[in-house]
Amino acid sequence: MEKRKTQSSRANQFHFFQQPGSRFYSVRLMVDGQRRRFSTGETTLKAAHSKAAAIMADIKSRGFDAAIKLHGKRRDEIPADPTVEEFCKLYREAIITADSPPSKVTSERYIRSLMRVCSGSGITRIRRLDASSVERFKDVYLRAALPTETPTATKKPRAKKKPRPRDAASVRTTLNGILRNAASIFSPSLLASYRIRGLVLDNPFSGTKMKRVPIKAHSPFPRELIDLIWNSSTVLRDGNPDAPEPTLKGGRRSDGAIDFRLPRPDAFAILLLELGLGLRRNEADKAEWSWVIEMPDGRRFLEVRASGDFVPKSKQSRVIPIDPVVWETLLANKADERFIVPAPKAKPKRGSVKQSLVYRCEEAHRVLVVWLRKLGVTDPKPCHALRKEFGSYVATRFSLFHAQKLLGHSTPAVTSAYYASLTDLPHLEPTRMGKFQS
């Protein structure tokens, strides 16, 4: 039997290879009859050589066991060609260390938008997502939302109820929001974070036109409409026995399924918070009694601040004075120990509520929307119009500066775009010639 040859110096040479689906080079080496495979954590062969030399030096100086403890840790590697789901997992890990991470609700909304773009364009792996696939999604979305075909005489109309028609401007605004949300996952800072983790990507939305929705200056409600809203609010709270019986049975989106004969203290509380304090929809939905601050002189303020799963839009708290009449009305309407807007008592059936739903009182908000439209509010977002009405009152009664602070706008420019036309009107004075000068 031939004797086994002793190890030569060449046996210590490195053997590099890549595992299937891995970007990193691994090295297989043997020292004094002991073999071991290490992951270098490098994606280039030159860098892998340097790392392997360092591993070999540690083996010779510290011993095999010490080198294994130092370099033998397995890496949670990102696949070289990750799926969309794997990429979304990487995004969740990257935003944890970001300087100004979005809230969980916001980040999940970004992910849903990206998944929608990828699904609509037939993309399953993130590297396949490029400018052409984004344009393909836009075409698919617009064709589905704005059908141009008309049913022929041979085609039988479906018995299913037709959805409410949408105008082209609304469809394009929604599409623009989806694209902007998905593009937020490919910001320069996040791309740098992915690169550090070993995934080099380009921004597939860099060539996509995504214009910001222009801010439209607010036109205040007529005085008669404001009086009608306040005077009719108690009927919303206590129920209207003379209201017609619901004509439709169905989901929460059916206006005719709402029974206004029943008391709706939850919708009434949202009305008080949005029109009386200028809260946003999500702020009114999450407002807590613990946010109320009582001063020694009897004045009360509402501090909109982070609590539980809620984070303010500007990520900063703000303090709003509470009118005594609004406070007494809210207190008389109290039905929940934690939240100002009482939550629905009946639990929804399993599968009836979408997992993406972020509002506690979605149904109450829908009731208020329908109620405001019946009173004559024609704004596309009736509840948000209540907040704007509060802002116009503060801007004209006090100043744009006060309106910015109470509304929680990030910059004075936003407040000015909404209300400057109400506060910067020229002052006209008569002249000797009988004309007016500004």
Percent of the chain residues topping a pLDDT of 90 = 44
Q: What are 89's two structure tokens?
A: 């997992």
Assess contact for 194 and 219: CB atoms under 8 A: no
Beta bridge partners of 184: none
Of 63-72, 77-86, 137-146, 246-255, which range is least confident? 246-255
Beta bridge partners of 30: 35
Q: Locate tokens 């959805």: which residue?
A: 163
Instruction: Report the pLDDT value the prediction gives residue 63, as an integer from 0 to 100.
Output: 83
Highest mean pLDDT among 66-80, 164-178, 241-255, 403-417: 403-417
Residue 233 pLDDT level (bands cut at 50, 70, 90): very high
Long-range contacts from 350-353, C-beta under 8 angstroms, 24+ separation: none
Beta strands in 132-196 (DSSP E): none
Q: What are 323's two structure tokens?
A: 């009118």
**Domain boundaries 223-345+357-378, CATH class:** mainly alpha
Residue 263 pLDDT level (bands cut at 50, 70, 90): very high
Q: 431: Cβ–Cβ under 8 A, 6 or more apart, which residues?
A: 437
For the segment 61-68, the average pLDDT, to the nearest whole number, is: 81
Question: Taking Cα atoms as reference points, which of 87, 175, 178 lies closest to residue 124?
Answer: 87
Question: 373 pLDDT exceeds 70?
Answer: yes
Q: 14: Cβ–Cβ under 8 A, 6 or more apart, which residues?
A: 27, 28, 29, 49, 52, 56
Instruction: Report the pLDDT value the prediction gives residue 42, as an integer from 0 to 100.
Output: 78
CA atoms lying within 13 Å on the CB side of residue 368: 30
pLDDT tens, residue by residue, 157-169: 555 555 556 677 7
pLDDT tens, residue by residue, 198-221: 788 989 988 776 656 667 888 899
For residue 311, the tally of other CB atoms under 10 A from its CB is 19
DSSP string for 88-105? HHHHHHHHHT-SSPPPHH
Instruction: Report the pLDDT value the prediction gives residue 352, as an integer from 0 to 100.
Output: 44
Q: What are 146's two structure tokens?
A: 């704005």
Instruction: Report the pLDDT value the prediction gives residue 126, as an integer from 0 to 100.
Output: 93
Instruction: Report the pLDDT value the prediction gives residue 214, as an integer from 0 to 100.
Output: 67
- Rounded to the nearest integer, the mean pLDDT of the chain is 81
For the segment 113-124, the average pLDDT, to the nearest whole number, is: 94
* Distance in angstroms (rounded) separating the CA atoms of residues 202 and 109: 21
Instruction: Report the pLDDT value the prediction gives residue 133, as an integer from 0 to 100.
Output: 92
* Distance in angstroms (rounded) separating the CA atoms of residues 339 and 288: 4
**In this structure, what is the dihedral angle of CA atoms 213, 214, 217, 219, given to the nearest 10 degrees?**
-50
Question: 431 pLDDT exceeds 70?
Answer: no
Beta strands in 195-346 (DSSP E): 292-294, 300-304, 318-321
Instruction: Report the pLDDT value the prediction gives residue 351, as an integer from 0 to 100.
Output: 46
Residue 437 pLDDT level (bands cut at 50, 70, 90): very low
Angle at the Cα of 161 (from 348 to 158), degrees rounded to 5? 130
Considering only residues 435 and 321, tell me which one the structure prediction assigns the higher pLDDT. Answer: 321
What is the sign of the dihedral through the CA atoms of 167, 172, 177 and 181? positive
pLDDT tens, residue by residue, 266-309: 999 999 999 999 999 999 999 999 999 999 999 999 999 998 87
* Distance in angstroms (rounded) separating the CA atoms of residues 165 and 437: 49
Instruction: Report the pLDDT value the prediction gives residue 147, as an integer from 0 to 100.
Output: 64
pLDDT tens, residue by residue, 2-55: 444 444 444 456 788 887 656 678 888 877 777 878 878 777 888 888 888 888
Q: 359: Cβ–Cβ under 8 A, 6 or more apart, which residues?
A: 281, 282, 285, 365
